[in-house]
């Protein structure tokens, strides 16, 4: 499935449906949400009753000079205030647990979805954009579900009930206050449209900035080595200034709207004081009723002013929901089958395999035929860009063939469950990926139940005994991307991880390229023992690595042109000799040709 973003399709807009789709995350907390709503509405009811008690106090005991009756009504008002405070405490207590639970569940599902999506998806999406969705966007949804949604309901109810009470107290003044709703509604609709666009732009630029920060941190050695600190900083600064400009535009838009919402209630207050005083003078309204009316109007200032904040929060949440939807709506191109090989032998066959990368018309591989029997190792040799890595990526289904098929023990790999396939196949890459966790956790990533003896054996095979000399041995955290280790150490650790998985098929994608000649020889000697019990695919650029294999497959122009032993190809295929270059001379080609 081809993913789209706002930049590719500007016509796409977030809306209430972007949040409505996440309603399932509210269901486990619906009991708590109901309690939140009940306590909040009860608090609103109490806060609205206090002005009515005040009116009764002014028009009754105070107007009649009955001092003894003031105390009961005063205590009633005090009790109502204490009860309202208690309800607010309960509502916030319920709220904290519910919203954090919603955010946690949503983040878990988002991360699980990212793990399901294919390499094609992750190749096209900058990591910073994914990071911003997992942090900034999730926080926006949490804030709205936990605060905005609740107060949108509460404030709407409070506005309706308060205006109803005002109309009941004095019809003309009530209609005057209700009339201020029309300009608010008109401006609110315009604000929502404009804020939706600018909110999306800000959130996209936050993702771009996160990508720049991550790349700057991960690539710090390269940046320093080439003296490009200023260049990288300028690039970051451009993105930061762009985000700053968009954020300022967003704040200006919000400020204009919120200022308008602040002015309207205060203008209404002035007019109510004027016409209310005239009504009291004419005897149409009591002094107590006017005080109650003004108190109710003052209580409207917060709901009206908060309307701008809540609508802004809602727009950000809808935009966030739209951005998260881009991930949840992405359908994995690679889905496992339902077959499991209980006792895999590891026979690997490429049968007329063709492959091209998504969104590319050019084939990287075509008509590839190769048969590797259990216990046999094949070295894949070819010029740079010939498709060696693509070929090896088809075995564990990091990508899928576009024609032909890859089989294990006669079963198409697309029919196997992904868990079963990736338990059969282990891969060590030229650029090893290590995680910010302990050396032990990195080693046992593919075999979490491995014993200490099995770990030690894999470490010895990969000549990675340096892990025992780290400050805390295997429990030493090796840092993000393993940057605290040398390139050769990272490759050996990744190789040990692949060996420890005890696969039936072991794929080595130029895994020994960063090793010195002496270490490489030791690793190769140990690997020969491992490869005797597994089917091996080795991408090689050196003659010494080729010697690990029982036979060699030469990859030319996207297909396998020759298959034979190392010595046969040296003797009969000039292109093969040229690819190995000096390595071929080191192996005394002349002796081989005689």
Q: What pLDDT digit, counting tens, does each position of 538-588 carry?
A: 888 777 778 778 899 999 988 999 999 888 888 888 888 888 764 555 554
More confident residue, 28 or 15: 28
Domain boundary assignment for the chain: 16-328, 348-593
How open is the CA angle 54-56-59, to the nearest 5 degrees?
A: 105
Q: Residue 483: its pLDDT value, please?
A: 66
CA distances from 308 to 137, 192, 253, 301, 326 (A): 20, 10, 10, 12, 27
Q: Which of 448, 392, 452, 446 is nearest to 424 (CA)?
A: 446
Q: Residue 9: its pLDDT value, please?
A: 41
Whether pTM > 0.75 for this model: the answer is: no
Question: Given a cut of 80, is residue 186 above it in pLDDT?
Answer: no
Question: Given a cut of 60, is residue 220 above it in pLDDT?
Answer: yes
Question: Given a cut of 90, is residue 394 above it in pLDDT?
Answer: yes
Q: Residue 510: its pLDDT value, please?
A: 75
Q: Confirm if 264 and 183 have CB atoms less than 8 A apart.
A: yes
- Average pLDDT in the 244-250 region? 90
Question: Given a cut of 80, is residue 370 above it in pLDDT?
Answer: yes
Burial degree of 533 (CB within 10 A; 0-12, 13-18, 19+): middle
* pLDDT (tens digit per residue) in 42-73: 888 888 787 877 777 777 777 666 777 777 87
Average pLDDT, the chain: 81
The 3-state DSSP composition of the chain as helix, strand, coil percent (nearest 5) reads 65, 10, 25
* Band (480; pLDDT cuts 50, 70, 90): low
Q: CA-to-CA distance for 457 and 491, rounded, in angstroms?
A: 17
Q: Which of 46, 208, 77, 33 is nearest to 136 (CA)?
A: 208
Domain 348-593 annotated CATH 3.40.50.300 = yes
Q: Residue 194: its pLDDT value, please?
A: 80
Q: Residue 6: its pLDDT value, please?
A: 40
* Band (590; pLDDT cuts 50, 70, 90): very low
Task: Find all residues with CB under 8 Å of 332, minimum gap 6, and list them.
Answer: 116, 117, 118, 121
Range of 280-284, 299-303, 384-388, 453-457 with top mean pLDDT:
453-457
Question: Given a cut of 90, is residue 156 above it in pLDDT?
Answer: no
Q: Residue 514: its pLDDT value, please?
A: 58
- Average pLDDT in the 12-37 region? 78
Range of 80-94, 149-163, 392-406, 507-521 with top mean pLDDT:
392-406
- Average pLDDT in the 303-322 region? 80
B/e letters for 156-185, b = 16+ CB within 10 Å, e = fewer, are ebbbeebbebbeebbeebbebbeebeeebe
* Band (3; pLDDT cuts 50, 70, 90): very low
Q: Residue 411: its pLDDT value, please?
A: 94
Burial degree of 8 (CB within 10 A; 0-12, 13-18, 19+): exposed
- Average pLDDT in the 179-200 region? 77
Class of the CATH-defined domain 16-328 = mainly alpha
Q: CA-to-CA distance for 59 and 429, rounded, in angstroms?
A: 85
Q: CA-to-CA distance for 557 and 555, rounded, in angstroms?
A: 7
* pLDDT (tens digit per residue) in 94-142: 777 777 788 888 889 988 888 888 888 888 888 778 888 888 888 888 8
Q: Residue 410: its pLDDT value, please?
A: 92
More confident residue, 589 or 396: 396
The two structure tokens encoding residue 235:
């690039």
Q: Confirm if 152 and 315 have CB atoms less than 8 A apart.
A: no
More confident residue, 313 or 456: 456
């Amino acid at each position: 499935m081809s993913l789209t973003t706002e930049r590719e399709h500007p016509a796409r807009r977030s809306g209430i449906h972007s949040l409505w789709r996440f309603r399932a995350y509210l269901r486990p907390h619906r009991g708590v949400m109901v309690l939140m709503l009940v306590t909040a509405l009860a608090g609103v009811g109490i806060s609205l009753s206090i002005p009515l008690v005040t009116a009764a106090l002014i028009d009754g005991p105070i107007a009649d000079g009955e001092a003894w009756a003031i105390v009961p009504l005063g205590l009633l008002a005090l009790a109502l205030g204490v009860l309202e405070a208690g309800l607010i405490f309960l509502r916030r207590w319920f709220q904290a647990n519910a919203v954090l639970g919603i955010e946690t569940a949503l983040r878990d599902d988002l991360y699980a979805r990212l793990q399901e999506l294919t390499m094609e998806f992750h190749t096209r999406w900058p990591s910073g954009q994914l990071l911003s969705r997992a942090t900034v966007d999730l926080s926006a949804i949490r804030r709205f579900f936990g605060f905005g949604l609740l107060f949108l309901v509460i404030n709407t109810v409070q506005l309706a009930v308060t205006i109803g009470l005002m109309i009941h107290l004095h019809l003309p003044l009530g209609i005057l206050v209700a009339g201020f709703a029309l300009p608010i509604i008109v401006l609110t609709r315009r604000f929502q449209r404009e804020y939706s666009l600018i909110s999306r732009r800000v959130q996209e630029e936050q993702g771009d900035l996160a990508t720049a920060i991550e790349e700057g941190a991960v690539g710090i050695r390269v940046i320093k080595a080439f003296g490009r600190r200023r260049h990288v900083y300028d690039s970051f600064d451009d993105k930061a200034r762009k985000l700053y400009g968009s954020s300022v535009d967003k704040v200006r838009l919000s400020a204009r709207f919120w200022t308008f919402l602040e002015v309207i209630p205060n203008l209404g207050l002035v007019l109510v004081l004027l016409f209310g005083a005239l009504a009291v003078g004419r005897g149409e309204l009591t002094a107590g009723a006017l005080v109650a009316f003004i108190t109710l109007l003052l209580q409207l200032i917060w709901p009206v002013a908060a309307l701008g904040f809540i609508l802004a929060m809602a727009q950000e949440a809808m935009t966030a929901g739209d951005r998260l939807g881009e991930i949840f709506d992405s359908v994995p191109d690679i889905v496992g089958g339902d077959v499991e090989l209980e006792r895999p032998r590891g026979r690997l066959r490429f049968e007329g395999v063709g492959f091209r990368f998504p969104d590319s018309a050019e084939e990287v591989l075509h008509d590839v035929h190769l048969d590797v029997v259990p216990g046999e190792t094949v070295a894949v040799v070819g010029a740079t860009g010939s498709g060696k890595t693509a070929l090896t990526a088809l075995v564990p289904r990091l990508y899928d063939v576009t024609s032909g098929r890859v089989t294990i023990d006669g079963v198409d790999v697309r029919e196997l469950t992904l868990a079963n396939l990736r338990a059969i196949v282990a891969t060590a890459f030229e650029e090893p990926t290590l995680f910010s966790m302990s050396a032990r956790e990195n080693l046992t990533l593919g075999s979490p139940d491995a014993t200490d003896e099995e770990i030690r054996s894999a470490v010895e095979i990969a000549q990675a005994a340096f892990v025992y000399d780290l400050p805390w041995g295997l429990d030493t955290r090796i840092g993000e991307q393993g940057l605290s280790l040398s390139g050769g150490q990272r490759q050996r650790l990744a190789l040990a991880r692949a060996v420890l998985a005890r696969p039936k098929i072991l794929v080595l994608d130029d895994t020994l390229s960063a090793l010195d000649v002496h270490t490489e020889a030791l690793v190769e000697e140990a690997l020969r023992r491992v490869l005797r019990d597994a089917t091996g695919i080795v991408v090689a650029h050196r003659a010494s690595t080729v010697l690990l294999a029982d036979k060699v497959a030469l990859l030319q122009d996207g297909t396998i042109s020759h298959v034979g032993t190392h010595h046969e190809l040296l003797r009969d295929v000039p292109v093969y000799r040229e690819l190995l270059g000096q390595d071929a001379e080191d192996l005394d080609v002349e002796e081989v040709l005689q």
